Amino acid sequence: MRIITRIKGKKSYYYLQHSVREESKVHTREIYLGQTIPKNLEQIKKRLLKEININLYKKFESIQGHFQTEWRRIPSSAKEQELRNIAIAFTYNTNAIEGSTITLAETRQIIEDKVAPNRPLRDIKETENHSKVFLAMLEKKQKISCKLLLEWHKNIFSETKPDIAGGLRDYLVRIGPDVAPDWQDIQRLMNDLMKFVHQKNMNPVELAGRAHFIFESIHPFGDGNGRIGRLLMNYILWHTGYPMLIIEYAKRSSYYKAFTHSEEGFLQYFIRRYLAVHKKRLK
């Protein structure tokens, strides 16, 4: 959001402008401020954001409605296979982002056929365990809590990283070039995050995006933060009736880059990806 100046003759006119990118198009909204910048500028900014968010929320609700209609059409006997297909795609991509050597075809072999490829045992176990956690997460709705996230972490990494599985870190780590929050602050930060995810006044798509960013900023685990953060994001979406978002391995560069921005910057990326992935459900 920015203030722009247009000069006509010898007079200056101020406008408040905000742009939102959706796929390859940029949509811009403007509010005329006058020949001087008004004192209630912050209130005007909030009004503009509210108007933009109302339009976004309508799109999110359209996606939710179409998804629920599609899901109801699927016979019960076919839903189990559909969920396995989602688990395969999500597990492959989320693990590949973190360096797993398992291919998409091999992920299917591990999950569906129980066949282990000629790959590192660690990658095989984390693929197998992640898919189990993911499917169990979809099947059973539980209150999001620090304990629940610790259980996910333990169940995924207990066989490959037993020294850190299911426990918050108690040492400093880096997130790229930056130092993550001090380990002594993690429990407090996680408690704040749990309060945040249980609020009632935010659209679930926005909530999922913000929760993911905040979780990754806390970086509560010694390893596996990305995978748990993406599970949390999709848990929020699924259990509020919205289709999930799989961050594709092929698009990891833009995903990584989004985390170098502020929370608002990351949210803009997240919304663009969500609308792009589910654009057919907007019709």
Whole-angstrom CA distances from 200 to 2, 22, 63, 144, 245 are 29, 26, 20, 14, 21
- Active-site residue identified among 130, 219, 239, 261: 219
3-state secondary structure 105-151: HHHHHHHHHCCCCCCCHHHHHHHHHHHHHHHHHHHCCCCCCHHHHHH
Q: Considering Cα of 212, then 214, then 220, then 226, what sign does the dihedral take?
A: positive
Whole-angstrom CA distances from 8 to 13, 29, 32, 100 are 8, 21, 14, 59
- The answer to whether 219 is a known catalytic residue is yes
CA 239 – CA 118 distance, rounded (Å): 36
- At 105, list the tokens: 């075809």
Torsion of CA 60, 62, 67, 70, to 10 degrees: -170
- At 76, list the tokens: 């019960």
Distance between first and last Cα of the chain:
29
What are the catalytic residues?
Answer: 219
